[in-house]
A and B are shown apart, each in its own frame.
Chain A
Amino acid sequence: MGELTVTTAVSRGGAGRRGTRPPRPSRPPSPTARARRSLLRGLPVLPAVVLLLLFLAGPIAYCVYYAFTDMRLTGASGARFVGFDNFTKAFGDPDFFNAVWLTLVFTVVSSIIGQNTLGLALAALLQKASGAVRSAAATVVLAAWVIPEVVAAYLLYVFFRREGELNAILSFLHLPQQNWLYTLPILAVSLANVWRGTAFSMLVYSAALREIPQEITEAAEVDGTGRWQRLWHITLPMIRRSIGTNLMLNTLQTLSVFGLIFVMTRGGPGDKSQTLPLYMYEQAFQNSLIGYGTAVALMLLVVGALFSVLYLRLLRTEV
């Protein structure tokens, strides 16, 4: 609101606004002067635009181009235009569908169910906990978030190994043990992603919960609503915007998780944890099929773009 008035005031140039100086004759600037002025004002944006064009739009354009060629890392260097061959190949390839399926599982389990729900639960619990417990818990969860991806992946790899900590805990509790990274690698990497990414949702939801006016929860409490009713009818509807934003951001992030899985399992054993980014990597760099790998990348980009558009709609009022 305030921003709007401010910007318009400045953009009017301001012959009338300079109170300290003798007022200048308020002539309307000539079209060329105005063009020059807006050009100069836009000048600082230029470096960013150039960088974005060269290193973001450029690769994306390349991506679109390569996706329709049979470019390879080895052998003949020329890339022939092959139309939709890469895409038909992908859709005829069971490995591709395996990767799509695993990506879906990974996203649903780790982002939508895991990070989102656990983040909300943590935020709600943090709100009710006593001071010391709150800061201790928040610190630990955040610590998992800020450590570098590779380090986190290495830690979790150790954690899920057969001789690792998880099995130690399970045997302590007299529960059946697993060789997690071999029997259920996709679950292991999903849990790893939950471990690593929950802090973000926790932060988003903590902020959202603080925004709920206390009177409303109190009024509901007085009316004798139960805890779950309160959650369902008051809390969730009031933070639905945050839920939408958070789900979208989480999903986008999870779709492109590469390092975590690469370090933990390299997509294996076999292809049991090979999500789309890993499939793309394998095709492009290990099988040297740059063209084909890029086609997969393009599909990933399109899915990301769709989510991004959804996200934009959610944030529409803020731009």
Chain B
Amino acid sequence: MAVITGSRTTPPPRTRRGPALRARQRSRRRSERAVVNAVLLLLALCFLAPLLWLLLASVNGTAGLRITAPDPWTLGNFREVLTTDITFLPMLNGLILCGGATALCVVASVLAAYPLSRYESRFKRPFLLTILFATGLPITAVMVPVYGMFVQVNLIDTMYGTILFLGTSSLPFAIWLTKNFMDGVPLVLEEAAWTDGASGGAAADVARSDRRDDLHLHHDVGKLLRPVLPAALPRPTARVGQHLHLLRLTRNGAVRPARRLLHALLDARDHALCGDVPPDRRQFGARWSTQGLTKG
């Protein structure tokens, strides 16, 4: 930087005061960096404050709504909520829902992305445009019609119905991402595998191209999952947000996803709202939140 400044000839005063200028620039840069660091730390503190409360309140025997040092320090809150009914069963249900939806989403998107990435077709462009368009639609808006539809086709209160909906709602983005990723996988790799596999017999053109899919999938499955999984899986933000849909899609006790936790959380909230805050409730909320945090 400074070298460039020195070598420039146009502004004569600069060249004359070269070293002094450089020193000044250096010190200015240092103070600038200090300011940047300070501002950044301040911003980070703003972001940290709510999180800090969560961490501290969850190990505090007498947690209030403000950040205080744990007094007494305890894991009792965790012990209290780590029961089958409060945590494990809802977690299991949540796991089945998320796992099912993710598996569905990954399989469908990988299958769809391969031909979309490798073959030309006149349907390809419109299809991709539709997919991209769908990623932008506010899914919240279909909450009501999905409920109506599920009632009509009797999918309401079923695990698989919910899985199907959850999986599909993240499908457009997953397809889009996977397709772009596959575009980046060099064809050479694929061809090598394909020659090995294809040398066995003289299969028909179609059969071979089919087999090529398998080989490719086999070969790259690890690589593939890396970008697809984040798309399909936890953005837990998206997922748990959708548990709010589940409030609607599943209503009886038989199917208990993490929404029970959600209810408990809202419960804790309402108690707090009334000013009547049983400490266990509050810490329960905090505790569950920590769990969500670690899950994420």
Contacts and interface: CB of A to CB of B under 8 A. Distances in A.
A55 B51 contact: no
Interface string A128-164: 1110011011001101111111111011111101011
A133 B35 CA distance: 12
Contacts of B137: 60, 301, 304-305, 308
A195 B136 CA distance: 22
A55 B239 contact: no
A262 B242 CA distance: 12
A243 interface: no
A300 B292 contact: no
A247 B179 CA distance: 24
A257 B1 CA distance: 46
Contacts of B135: 308
B280 interface: no
Interface in A80-133: 118, 122, 125-126, 128-130, 133
Nearest to A192: B50
Interface stretch (B16-24, B38-46, B73-81, B82-90): B38-46
B50 A159 contact: yes
A173 B97 CA distance: 46
A201 to B, nearest CB: 13
B108 A147 contact: no
Given A20-B199, A122-B43, A150-B241, A256 B111 contact: no
B140 interface: yes
A147 B127 CA distance: 33
B9 interface: no
Nearest to A221: B1
B134 A56 contact: yes
Contacts of B199: 20-21
A47 B108 CA distance: 6
A158 B53 contact: yes
A40 B145 CA distance: 34
Nearest to A51: B168
A179 to B, nearest CB: 12
Given A51-B108, A252-B136, A56 B169 contact: yes
Contacts of A118: 43
A232 interface: no
Interface residues of A, number: 109
Contact of B8 (A144, A222, A285, A308): A222
A308 B209 contact: no
A63 interface: yes
Contacts of B4: 218, 222
Contacts, number: 309
Interface in A20-62: 20-21, 29, 33, 36-38, 40-45, 47-49, 51-52, 54-56, 58-60, 62
Range for the number of chain B residues in contact with chain A: 35 or more
A290 interface: yes
Given A125-B39, A222-B5, A259-B241, A10 B118 contact: yes
B93 interface: no
B44 A136 contact: yes
B149 to A, nearest CB: 5
Contacts of B136: 248-249, 252, 304-305, 307-308, 311-312
B148 to A, nearest CB: 6
A58 B269 contact: no
A44 B44 contact: no
A37 B212 CA distance: 14
A262 B240 contact: no
B74 to A, nearest CB: 19
B132 interface: yes
Interface in B272-296: 272, 285, 288-289, 292-293, 295-296
A267 interface: no
A66 interface: yes
Nearest to A60: B142
A6 interface: yes
Contact of A150 (B40, B108, B134, B265): B265
A10 B138 contact: no
Interface stretch (A205-213, A234-242, A276-284): A276-284
Given A159-B50, A218-B1, A150 B292 contact: yes
Given A45-B115, A141-B47, A150-B262, A62 B36 contact: no
B50 A195 contact: yes
B171 interface: yes
A11 B123 CA distance: 14
A165 B241 contact: no
B115 A155 contact: no
Contacts of A9: 187
The 4 closest A-B pairs by CB, nearest first: A308-B136, A256-B138, A148-B240, A48-B112
Given A51-B168, A164-B66, 10 more contacts: A40-B209, A52-B134, A62-B149, A125-B40, A133-B37, A141-B44, A168-B67, A285-B144, A285-B248, A301-B141
19 contacts: A7-B120, A20-B195, A41-B119, A48-B109, A48-B171, A55-B165, A55-B168, A58-B149, A63-B144, A129-B37, A141-B47, A144-B47, A149-B240, A151-B293, A155-B54, A161-B272, A195-B47, A300-B138, A304-B138
